[in-house]
Amino acid sequence: MPNFCAAPNCTRKSTQSDLAFFRFPRDPQRCRLWVENCRRADLEEKTPDQLNKHYRLCAKHFEPAMICKTSPYRTVLRDTAIPTIFDLTSHLGNPHSRHRKRIKVLTDEEVQKIKERRLESSIEQLLSNKDCDAQDDSENADDIPQLTPEQKDLREFLRSSFEVMVLIGRQNFPFSCNAREDEMRSEEEQFLTTGNFQALIENRINAGDEFLRRRFETAAVNEEYCSAVQQRQLLEVCERCVREEILQQVRECHFFSIVTGELVEFPEGEHLPVFLRFVDQANSLREEFIEFLSFEGEEVAVAERLETQLTKGWGLSMEHCRGQAYAGSGILGTKMKVIAAQLKEKYPMAVITPTSTCALNVHLANGMPLTGVQDVMSVLKKTNAFFKASPLLQSELDNAISILCQGNIEKESILKEGSRSTWTDLHNVFEMAVDLMEPLLLCMDSIHDNEDLKWNDQITSDAYAISEALADFEFIVTLVILKNALSFTRAFGKNLQGETIDVFFAANSLTAVLHSLHEVSDNLEVYHEFWFEEAVSLATAMEIPVRVPRLFLRKQQAVETMEIQAESFFKEYLTLPVMEYITQEVKEIFSENHLKALKCLSLVPAVMGQMRFNTSEETHADIYRSDLPHPDTLPAELHCWRIKWKHRGKEVSLPCTIHQTLQHSDVKFFPNVNAFLKILATLPVLKLDGSQGETAQRRLQAYLTDTAVNQRCKNLAVLNISYHIKTDLEEMVQCYLKTYPEECESD
């Protein structure tokens, strides 16, 4: 039964408004004040119990300060609340209106008495509020511990030290944080290695920092302001607070994906960089660097260490992990594949995907456990890095391309433009490499000969090593077979890194890709013959003899078996395992759950429009049903979502990406769709669009490029890579004193 407001000239009722309605108080004195202010004569004859049971006033008749919202679903009045906002005149404009709530006409004496009571009530309320505030202030004062002058000085010094430490990290100043090395250094060497912190403190003193000047004005000239041990403690606390700031945002969003990069070498050994990908509260997709994880031990140990760090160390739930992606080739790629498979077996929703920053064909080649394939990938990376070292080297390669492409201006232009880019990251990397083979070998031989004496010994030595690798028939045939075998996944992989509509169509084209791979495997004899002829033709043009690898011949001589032909050898030991690996890996990466998730990209309005709004997300949405806030209403909500965009105004454009869709103001009215899109966005296979996601990986690469191995520090690296994360110096001070309470006591 609806509640009606008892105030005169107020027609509000509970079924037509979200306003709160309040009962008349049982307290006789307060109830009398409510009735007087209402000015309804018919209510004066009723008892407080009757008024409390049958009459209400809506929130519009109370000052906002009198109303407390204890929760999103509960609104209450303060104990001293009196209604003071009433409309007592609007009925006068319509004399023929029948007023059920008759307004009492007051005499001058009654008006004066009401004013006096209101004044008394206001004074009592003001005094009551002052008493409450005084009591609260007293309680708060009792809660705050009284600090001694020494403790205040320590806190101020820590604050200044943290400010300097954050500056060192963000600017990537060298800093020693290896305790074992510090113990082996002489006193002078230790002073030099900690000189940056010392110099920055001195700079603050010289710039007018009165606190630091007073603290160290009696210190000796060569005395350190902060010991090496304490500096390391400060650095660890800085790193912990920056990481916690990111992790807090991840916890608020619940769902995330894990992304790992190539191993990074530090003085204390190789470590694995770990990133977390998530959608923050502002609906922005982010990929943030978290920590360098030790990579020592077998795959099982590393997997357990990663899981323990995620759950116990960072306070995340692996039940909320929705994707995982890794980068790496050779042994790292093989180990990471095993680690990812173990996590997926334990947490099936953490699907394995390629990273959005690595072409699918490069990812597949990096993971092949074949020595010849890994040699090709390594040589290609070294070759690309070799020419990036100097514009003069790139110019030498351009000359070699011009010599070998005489008369074919279009091909010459394509090869020159491609060689200037990071072509080892392209989807057509193997096609580009095959076309560049002859110019590369000619260029390397020219640099190694060094007839003009314009190259130093290091460059000529590197050129010789690369030319020896290029002039090997095993390298050529492996490159050609990779080019042809991975041609069936090239367009598919390119679409995966394209726009959202391209990814959606790629997910629906996987069946055709697998069909092509199976066809090649079923007719391997024919395909290998054509591929091998192409490799022989290229080797002949480069004057490279066709032969079986030397290591295999040595093993063959040891067991005295029948001599094997080169074509048969490479079919059995190269083409066959390459095709088997590609087919199996594509099936494993694009598992049923992964494909279902990608097909749900039809939730993006532009994809729906491309499909003429004839989509069926319901058939795939069950993958994340348990993650949705209202799964029972999902079918109806999806129908409304399609109708909304199908019948949009002509001036309204369809959002083309998940990011654009999440930024749309109406998405909040579709809670299931909103949650679904946020989960999809965390999948590492989707490119980081409209966000700051890729900056973390770029900053990591910049840090590694700018910092020598012997000067790298994991703590400083975190501060440098995450320099955009806000830092709270007071929080760092509290964390330090909590972690190292003995420092507070000693100071």
Answer yes or no: are the C-beta atoms of 274 and 290 closer than 8 Å. yes
Helix (H) or strand (E) holding 264: strand 264-266
Which pLDDT score is estimated for 183? 44
What was the pLDDT predicted at 694? 61
CA distance 223 to 225: 6
pLDDT at 97 over 80: no
Question: What is the Cα–Cα distance from 356 to 353, expressed in whole angstroms?
Answer: 9
Other CB atoms closer than 10 Å to residue 283's CB: what's the count?
21
Q: Give the Cα-Cα-Cα angle 396, 402, 403 (nearest 5 degrees).
A: 95
Q: What would the mean pLDDT of 699-718 be, rounded to a whole number?
A: 90
Using the structure block, give the residue that is written with the tokens 């059920």: 100
Q: Alpha-carbon distance 564 to 568, whole Å?
A: 7
pLDDT digits (tens, 9 = 90+) for 720-745: 999 888 888 888 998 988 888 876 55
* Structural tokens at position 77: 């009045």
Mean pLDDT across 437-442:
93
Q: Are 164 and 204 in contact (CB under 8 A)?
A: yes
What's the 3-state SS for 289-347?
Answer: EEEEEECCCCHHHHHHHHHHHHHHHCCCCHHHEEEEEECCCHHHHHHHHHHHHHHHHHC
In the chain the domains, ranked by start, together with CATH numbers, are 21-85 (no CATH), 149-234+729-739 (no CATH), 254-360+708-718 (3.30.420.40), 365-590 (no CATH), 600-682 (no CATH)
Residue 527 has pLDDT above 70, yes or no: yes
What whole-number distance in Å separates Cα of residue 727 and Cα of residue 495? Answer: 39
The lowest-confidence range among 50-59, 103-112, 343-352, 650-659 is 103-112
Percentage, residues of the chain above pLDDT 70: 84
How high is the pLDDT of residue 136? 52
Say which DSSP state 424 is in.
G
Query: pLDDT tens across 280-332, in order?
Result: 888 888 999 999 999 888 889 999 999 999 999 999 999 999 999 998 887 88
Q: Which pLDDT does position 296 carry in this prediction?
A: 87
Report the pLDDT averaged over residues 58-84. 79
Tokens 């040589």 correspond to: 379
- pLDDT tens track for 154-174: 888 888 888 888 888 888 887
Give residue 27's pLDDT: 86
pLDDT tops 90 at residue 461: yes
pLDDT band at 192 (very low <50, low <70, confident <90, very high): very low
Strand pairing of 269-279 and 256-260?
antiparallel
- Does the pLDDT of residue 179 top 50, yes or no? no
Q: How far apart are the first and last CA of the chain?
A: 69
Amino acid at 1: M
Would you call 516 exposed, middle or buried from its count of C-beta atoms within 10 A (0-12, 13-18, 19+)? Answer: middle
